[in-house]
Amino acid sequence: MSEIDFKNLPDQEWRQRLSPEEYFVLRQAGTEPPHVGEYTDTTTEGVYACRACGAEIFRSTEKFESHCGWPSFFDPAATDAVYEKVDTSHGMVRREVLCANCDSHLGHVFEGEGYNTPTDLRYCINSLSMTLKPAE
């Protein structure tokens, strides 16, 4: 079986693979409402994978409680798991976080907010953009 080239999947294929809510977040850079995501308050140990392609993007060991309304991480699972680009939507400048494997929108990263984490970064990630694979 050949590997799927997620970066070149046509829009119609993404619409078939994802629910309308997942498509809105992952493919249209949407944001789920705060405090409603399934992973916002979870403390389950495991690996978070991109809901669109299954690539490992974050680990529970880097998740922390920021009280911002979305799951927060201080570092991605690997240096090449995600990438960032400038987002100037909504009248502000932010750093958008995308899956390096499929270019799907995951959330945004913020710096210098004073959280007691090793990186001083907060990867604010939509629950709809991930699936949690619990540790065995």
Q: Residue 118: how many CB atoms within 10 A of its CB?
A: 9
Instruction: Report yes or no: 39 and 126 within 8 Å, Cβ to Cβ.
Output: no
Which structural domains are found in the chain, ordered by start?
8-134 (2.170.150.20)
Q: Catalytic pick from 53, 99, 102, 124? A: 124
How open is the CA angle 82-22-94, to the nearest 5 degrees? 45
Tell me the one-letter amino acid at 45.
E
Q: If we measure between CA atoms, which residue out of 1, 40, 33, 3 comes closest to residue 130? A: 40
Query: Each residue of 9-57: pLDDT tens digit?
Result: 999 999 999 999 999 999 999 999 999 999 999 999 999 999 999 999 9
Rg (CA), the chain: 14
Residue 124 known to be catalytic: yes
Query: Each residue of 5-20: pLDDT tens digit?
Result: 999 999 999 999 999 9
Query: Each residue of 108-132: pLDDT tens digit?
Result: 999 999 999 999 999 999 999 999 9
What is the 8-class DSSP label of residue 39? T
pTM: 0.94
Contacts of 105 (CB under 8 A, 6+ apart): 25, 26, 27, 28, 29, 30, 96, 97, 98, 126, 129
